[in-house]
Amino acid sequence: MKFSLSMQSILAMAVILMLALPQSVSAQVPARFYWKNLVGGNAVPVVYMDMSGNANPLDPAQFVVPESSFEATVALGGYAKTFTLFDRSALVAALLPVGRISGGASLFGRDFTESTNGFGDPTLEFVINVLGPPAIKNIPQAMRYEPGFSLDLLVDLIVPVGEYDDDQLLNMGQNRWYGRVAAPIVWQIGSWVPGRRTTLEFLPSVWLFDDNDDFLGHNLSTDPKFQVEAHLTRDFHKDLWGSIDVNWMGGGKSSLDGIDGDDLDMVGVGFTLGYHVNENFQLTAGYLASVSDDDPTDLQVDVFKVSLVFGWHPLVEGMKRLGGE
């Protein structure tokens, strides 16, 4: 019994790998990403996303093109590793999106009906816990883990090497450096008994953008974008949980050749369900849609996402072999 619970503790955090998704609000970070696990663990995800709206779903600047319609089908894969740094739990991850975008819009007096496919910009991520329980270094500590009030520091860097055509409106890559600084928060509510766990979680972040100096022959610049995600999560069963998700985004005003657009002011709501398939696999599914999008210049977002994550730890796998599993 203790062994099984320790593996579930590992998997509860294994999906952290997906938190680095650079695809803006469409790829809102699901709940329970910041639960900690046994250091030295590994995770590999397969993520499928179906997204639509009036901005390139793969561009976190969310440059709105009024009266436009874009659709994207994206898969994402990567690798994450946990370790200790200054006796705190830390994580490094690398992720790469691949997929297809299509849609139509009018901009600069031109009508665009386009589709593109290929690789997007890879993401490098670093996360370290700064407030909360110490790093989990063995299985007894994993068994006793409770987040209490936990605060992390997260830094993402997105590298502009994805596929880009300077004569197209839609691209998998964004032709500029960008990234974010965030502070994931997990607040435990009540007891920490599997099947009865409840958390309130927040992710305040700021996105920073370099200029794209060849956006259809123009210069595209973006002010810092501010984002706050919130989740209220609850166990339905020791292997099944759900959350109510809210996402607010503001700022991030884009300018073309010095002509300013509008600040973003978007509220999205959604839900997430998570299921522990077995000791190494976790399945999550979620949906998010904007609710403050009545005006044509408002950001419109609609996204459905399914992920399957494989997580493992050498210590636990060794115990399984010794136990004859």
Report domain extents, the chain: 2-322
Weakest-pLDDT range from 36-40, 48-52, 105-109, 120-124: 105-109
d(CA 4, CA 1): 5
Residue 56 has pLDDT above 50, yes or no: yes
List the beta bridge partners of residue 117.
Answer: 100
Kindly state the average pLDDT of the residues 275-292.
Answer: 90
pLDDT the model gives residue 127: 94
Query: Which residues, at least 6 apart from 230, have a Cβ–Cβ distance to it below 8 Å?
Result: 200, 201, 202, 203, 245, 246, 247
Kindly state the average pLDDT of the residues 193-220.
Answer: 94
The rounded percent of the chain whose pLDDT value lies above 90 is 54
Q: Compare 24 and 207 and report the one with higher pLDDT.
A: 207
**Nearest CA-CA partner of 21 in 152, 124, 91, 101:** 124
pLDDT of 75-92, one tens digit each? Answer: 989 898 999 999 999 999
d(CA 208, CA 62): 13
pLDDT the model gives residue 63: 82
Weakest-pLDDT range from 225-229, 233-237, 306-310: 306-310
Kindly state the average pLDDT of the residues 21-48.
Answer: 72
Residue 312 has pLDDT above 90, yes or no: no
pLDDT-derived band of residue 32, with 50, 70 and 90 as boundaries?
confident
Query: Which residues, at least 6 apart from 203, have a Cβ–Cβ distance to it below 8 Å?
Result: 29, 182, 183, 184, 185, 227, 228, 229, 230
CATH 3.40.50.10470 fits 2-322, yes or no: no
Query: Which residues, at least 6 apart from 20, have a Cβ–Cβ distance to it below 8 Å?
Result: 78, 93, 95, 123, 124, 125, 156
pLDDT the model gives residue 324: 57
Residue 235 has pLDDT above 90, yes or no: yes
DSSP 8-state secondary structure symbol assigned to residue 134? P
Residue 13 has pLDDT above 80, yes or no: no
Kindly state the average pLDDT of the residues 281-309.
Answer: 89
pLDDT of 126-145, one tens digit each? Answer: 999 999 999 988 878 888 88
Residue 109 has pLDDT above 80, yes or no: no
pLDDT of 203-216, one tens digit each? Answer: 999 999 999 999 98
Weakest-pLDDT range from 13-17, 115-119, 161-165, 294-298: 13-17
> Alpha-carbon torsion 38, 286, 203, 178, what sign?
positive
pLDDT the model gives residue 323: 67
Distances (CA, A) of 58 to 51, 156, 173, 211, 311: 9, 15, 8, 16, 26
pLDDT the model gives residue 227: 94
For 108-126, letters b (16+ CB in 10 Å) and e give: eeeebeeebeeebbbbbbe
Query: What global pTM score does this model have?
Result: 0.87
Average pLDDT over the chain, rounded to whole?
Answer: 86
Terminal-to-terminal C-alpha distance of the chain = 14
d(CA 157, CA 92): 12
Q: Which two tokens stand for residue 21?
A: 């998704």
pLDDT the model gives residue 298: 87
**For the chain, what is the largest distance between any 2 Cα atoms, rounded to a whole number of angstroms?**
69
Residue 291 has pLDDT above 50, yes or no: yes
d(CA 243, CA 286): 9
Are 10 and 313 spatial neighbours (Cβ–Cβ below 8 Å)?
Answer: yes
Q: Which two tokens stand for residue 7?
A: 């593996």
